[in-house]
Amino acid sequence: MARGVKGRRRIVAYFSEQIPIRRGKEGQDLFSQLCRATHEDGALLSTEDIVDHMSFLMMAAHDTLTSSLTSFVAALAANPHWQDRLRNEVTTLGVAAGEPTTLENLAAMPLSEMAFKETMRMKPPVPSIPRRATRDFSFKGYAIPAGTMVGINPLFTHHMPEIWPDPETFDPMRFSDEAQRSRHRFAFVPFGGGAHMCLGLHFANMQAKCFARHFLQNLRVALPPGTTPDWQMWPIPKPRDGLQVTLSPV
């Protein structure tokens, strides 16, 4: 907690100092746009509001992607057969190194998207979602009174063998159109669900596929022989050893 409080102080200082600088420039990034955004009455957003939006986004958008892309690389390293299949998909796009990835390219990467989803099934970047019951309800015979803290646990849901047979096996085919059709809509919840479902989920999938394209086009990844990465799952999945992998040029 103390480290978190200290870290927040640093983030608040950094964003606060940047706000006047970015107000004077034309930057198109989200932070710069928030600095220049106005309320309906024309007033600029307060420093506190901008800082809160940005510090939320550091966690919601960056930490989640960092965690899931790390898990993705680990899954590619541990499953060379899938790594080859995805590299083949990326090569088939025919995009030369240095050229930007287009929306059409992203649409032509279904296997990469399935593999990314399977990665998030096994290691959901937000493994627990805290909630508080707003009214009395019952769940599976348990009475939950209004006001009770409820921990929604995607990590548990994503490993329920009755929904995900052989849950420890990496199998992107679980996300084929056909396989998904018959599954409960809350069986796969890396982005939460309901009113506060992730605002950036499509953007996250796009970023993951952009990453896959560049990574697979340039690099091969393998686990050093005899290693099995050890994962810390809470509060956000990360490899305890920093992920020891061997990278080599394609």
Q: What is the closest distance, in whole angstroms, from the C-beta atom of residue 65 to ligand HEM in the complex?
A: 5
Query: CB-wise, 69 or 111, nearer to ligand HEM?
Result: 69
Q: What is the closest distance, in whole angstroms, from the C-beta atom of residue 191 to ligand HEM in the complex?
A: 5
Query: CB-wise, 116 or 164, nearer to ligand HEM?
Result: 116
Which of 90, 74, 82 has the alpha carbon at shortest distance from 122? 74
Query: CB-wise, 127 or 229, nearer to ligand HEM?
Result: 127
Residues in contact with ligand HEM by CB under 6 A are 60-61, 64-65, 68, 125-126, 129, 190-192, 196, 198-200, 203-204
Query: CB-wise, 167 or 192, nearer to ligand HEM?
Result: 192
Q: What is the closest distance, in whole angstroms, from the C-beta atom of residue 197 to ligand HEM in the complex?
A: 6
Query: CB-wise, 33 or 91, nearer to ligand HEM?
Result: 33
Q: What is the closest distance, in whole angstroms, from the C-beta atom of residue 128 to ligand HEM in the complex?
A: 9
Query: CB-wise, 125 or 172, nearer to ligand HEM?
Result: 125
Which residue's CB comes closest to ligand HEM?
200
Contacts of 122 (CB under 8 A, 6+ apart): 71, 75, 158, 159, 167, 168, 170
Task: Please give the Cα distance from 121 to 163 (Å, whole number).
Answer: 12
Q: What is the closest distance, in whole angstroms, from the C-beta atom of residue 120 to ligand HEM in the complex?
A: 6
Q: What is the closest distance, in whole angstroms, from the C-beta atom of residue 248 to ligand HEM in the complex?
A: 27
